[in-house]
Structure 1
Amino acid sequence: MQSKANSAVEYISELPADRKEVIAAIREVIIKNLPAGFEEIMNYGMLCYVVPHKIYPPGYHCNPKDPLPFISLASQKNYISFYYSGFYDNDLLNWLTEQYTILTGKKPDIGKCCIRFKKPAEIPVALLGELCTKITPDEWIAHYEKHVKR
């Protein structure tokens, strides 16, 4: 479900009532906890947190006109997706899986670099905020250039 919204506020305003509050809370915790240098934009029809071209001029290898993506947040048809590129670092993936299981008693529904949440009320917002603190833009760029960019 891609949005044509031009801003985070517009994106959230378009959401169904049961999604607005939780998406706004996740957005707030992302903004509060992301290290300086990342920027919030709308891209691919969702909220994105990126390393802007002013910090990383080459941009994203798939489309150099786009800034380097790091986190995205989307309200999909059947779940909320939290895309976290830092999961390419298995240590962070393992950390999140362990912490999530301790908090919820369940294993997270994780794809290649996203967590899918089917029940908005069960999203561990504070844990996502802590995850956001784990990588600076410079660390993400170094990891991206070493492991992702071809």
Structure 2
Amino acid sequence: MQSNATTVDAYVSEIPEDRRQAIEALRKTIKKRLPKGFKETMSYGMIGYVVPHELYPAGYHCNTKDPLPFMNIASQKNFIAIYHMGMYASPALLNWFTDEYGKRVKGKLDMGKSCVRFKKPELIPVDLIGELAAKMTVQEWIDMYEKNYKK
């Protein structure tokens, strides 16, 4: 479920009230913890945190006009989603996250390759997501991306 909003603020204003507070808390924490260089923008119809072309002119290999994606947050039809490309690319980071999640959150982790889904906004471990956002610098992400994805 992608939004046609052209700004992050417009996207947030479209979110149903029962989810808006959670999205705003995630956004605040991610922006506070994300290493320097990442930029908040609309990306793939969601709030995105990307490596801008100024820092990585090659852009995303799927569409070089797009900046290199790193992390997204979205209000989907039935859940709030956190997408983190670094967890998809780094088994060590994925293991750290799943271990920490198990220590901090009761209940089963609902996760795909790079997507963590939360059906109940009040159960989102916002601090853990902030820690996850802080785990990789722009240069570390570029290096990992080029090693794993760039052909």
Query: TM over 0.5: same fold?
Result: yes
What do you get for the CA RMSD once the two structures are aligned?
0.8
Length-normalised TM-score, structure 1:
0.97
1:97 aligned onto 2:98: yes
Residue identity matched to 1:91 = A
User: How do residues 138-149 of structure 1 correspond to structure 2 at under 5 angstroms?
Assistant: 138-149=139-150
User: In the alignment, what sits opposite 1:111?
Assistant: 112
TM-score normalised by the chain length of structure 2: 0.97
What is the aligned partner in structure 2 of residue 36 from structure 1? 36
Question: What is the correspondence of 1:1-150 to structure 2 with a 5 Å cutoff?
Answer: 1-87=1-87, 88-150=89-151
Conserved 8 A contact 1:97-1:107:
no
Deviations 1:13-55, CA, capped at 9 Å, x for gaps: 1111101100010011110000000001102111000000000
Check conservation: 1:100, 1:106, Cα contact below 8 A.
no
Amino acid at match of 1:53: H
Cα distance in 2 for partners of 1:57, 1:12 equals 29
Q: Could you report, residue by residue, the CA deviation over 1:62-111 in whole angstroms, capped at 9, with x for unpaired residues?
A: 00000000001110001111000111201111111111111113331110
The answer as to whether partners of 1:35 and 1:133 remain within 8 angstroms in 2 is yes
Alpha-carbon distance in 2 for matches of 1:97, 1:43: 25
Residues in 2 aligned to 1:6 and 1:149: alpha-carbon distance in whole angstroms:
28
Task: Give structure 2 stretches of 5+ with no counterpart.
Answer: none
4+ residue segments displaced more than 6 Å: none
Gaps of 5+ in 1: none
Alignment length, in residue pairs? Answer: 150
Aligned-partner residue type, residue 66 of structure 2: D
Identity of aligned residues (%): 55
